[in-house]
Amino acid sequence: MPRQIWEKKEVYPFRALREGVGMNRIGILTSGGDAPGMNACIRAVVRVALSQGLEVWGIRHGYAGLIRGEMGPMDRGSVANIIHQGGTILGTARSPEFTTREGRALAIQIIHKAGIDGLVLIGGDGTFRGGTLLKEESGVDIVGVPGTIDNDVYGTDYSIGFDTAINTALEAIDRIRDTALSHDRLFFVEVMGHHTGFIALESGIAGGAEELIIPEVPENIDKLCRQLDASFRRGKRSAIVVVAEVEQPGNAFRIAQEVRDKAGFESKVCILGHIQRGGSPTAWDRILASKLGAAAVEALENGKGGHMLGEINGKIAYTPLKDTWEKKKELDSDLKELVKLLSG
Ligand code: F6P
């Protein structure tokens, strides 16, 4: 049951502010779509913060829970045995209320009542957009950690959850290839990615996709039909086209229909959907989550609020929260070229 913790202040008395640090109690929340590895990050934040003498309060259900005051103290045991679990033990949500000034004012009141001096936000660009405003309006120190399967956050090479998601998509593509080969079929496999093609590009390369449809490349169904036709004429009997969903699930059905109308190719469509969000995080995601969680606490302690902690070329990178959603992260153009070279 969520607890309205500020009513229980006497049960969890404030520790005296540590000299020179000014940071005593930090809050942590996960927001937006869940991503495998978020739990590993929560664990790292809690344990590193406790080891530094800070108190940590877990806020449930993202900004929606913050507005409702769903929060409580966390100890080392509260994050035991979660490193291997997908999802987020704190729960998450998308909160329309928080996008309003009134909603954020409620959240700010609660943050102050709870005596929270610093916040760790784990989420994607929408989370950091809200976090930027929250910081401006509350003055509370806020740091972000990129946690989204989409990998579309500026300021980090990889976001927590992406590696697991592409491996999940890859496993599905491999399985589809078995049946595509057996039946001599054309398949359209739709992957997630919000409005970007990161998941499609990397799972497509790893899965040997014949073609990719991603939002970063203007769609050209005539060209796709010509390329498929050419490869069937060369003797190919099956093909997999990986399609990015682009906001709305079902994009692959539309493309399959257009290909049928234009070139007469029959096909099957497989939408991977939320399967890509679940599952045990890969080692990569667990390690990245642990490193970034620890770095987030360090950043708060060192007065680096207002930044997102990412990893660029293997090194921890600080990016102003505002840049994480205002600037656009580009796809690796070499990888895009590679797809063209490799498609048989
Ligand atoms: O941001 C993660 C993500 O899974 C996107 O890839 C997808 O577009 C969206 O969330 C789906 O959101 P929801 O689960 O709220 O439908």
Q: Each residue of 81-112: pLDDT tens digit?
A: 999 999 999 999 999 999 999 999 999 999 99
- What digits encode the pLDDT tens for the residues 112-162? 999 999 999 999 999 999 999 999 999 999 999 999 999 999 999 999 999
- What digits encode the pLDDT tens for the residues 15-43? 333 344 468 999 999 999 999 999 999 99
Report the relative pairing of strands 239-244 and 268-271 from DSSP bridges. unpaired
Write down how long the chain is.
344
Beta strands, E only, the chain: 25-30, 55-59, 71-74, 118-123, 141-146, 186-191, 211-213, 239-244, 268-271, 307-312, 315-320
- What digits encode the pLDDT tens for the residues 184-242? 999 999 999 999 999 999 999 999 999 999 999 999 999 999 999 999 999 999 999 99
Percentage of the chain exceeding pLDDT 70: 93
Q: Which helix (H) or strand (E) holds 296?
A: helix 283-301
Determine the atom of ligand 1 nearest the C-alpha atom of 249: 8
Q: Which of 34, 117, 125, 150 is catalytic?
A: 150
Determine the atom of ligand 1 nearest the C-alpha atom of 247: 8
pLDDT of 343 reads: 74
Could you please report the per-residue DSSP string of 127-176? HHHHHHHHHHHH--EEEEEEB-TT---TT-S--BTHHHHHHHHHHHHHHH
Report the pLDDT averaged over residues 177-186: 98
**Nearest protein Cα to ligand 1, atom 8:** 194
Clarify whether 150 is annotated catalytic.
yes
Question: What is the pLDDT confidence band of residue 269, given thresholds at 50, 70 and 90?
Answer: very high
Distance 194 CA to ligand 1 centre (A): 6
Distance 247 CA to ligand 1 centre (A): 8
- What digits encode the pLDDT tens for the residues 49-63? 999 999 999 999 999
pLDDT of 224 reads: 96
Q: What is the DSSP letter of 47?
A: H
Question: What is the pLDDT confidence band of residue 344, given thresholds at 50, 70 and 90?
Answer: low
Distance CA 342, CA 344 (A): 6
What does the mean pLDDT of the chain come to? Answer: 93
* Residues ≥6 apart with Cβ < 8 Å to 333: none
State the greatest distance between any 2 C-alpha atoms of the chain, in Å, as a whole number: 76
Statement: residue 326 has pLDDT above 90? yes
Distance CA 300, CA 97 (A): 27
Strand pairing partners for 160?
147
Distance 149 CA to ligand 1 centre (A): 9
More confident residue, 223 or 5: 223
**Nearest protein Cα to ligand 1, atom 10:** 33
> Cα 271 vs. chain centroid, distance in angstroms?
19
Q: Which domains, ranges and CATH numbers included, belong to the chain?
A: 3-148+156-161+281-326 (3.40.50.450), 162-277 (3.40.50.460)
Residue ranges around ligand 1 (CB below 6 Å): 33, 94, 124, 148-150, 192-194, 277
Sheet holding 55-59, edge to edge: 71-74, 55-59, 25-30, 118-123, 141-146, 307-312, 315-320
* Residues ≥6 apart with Cβ < 8 Å to 13: none
State if pTM tops 0.85: yes
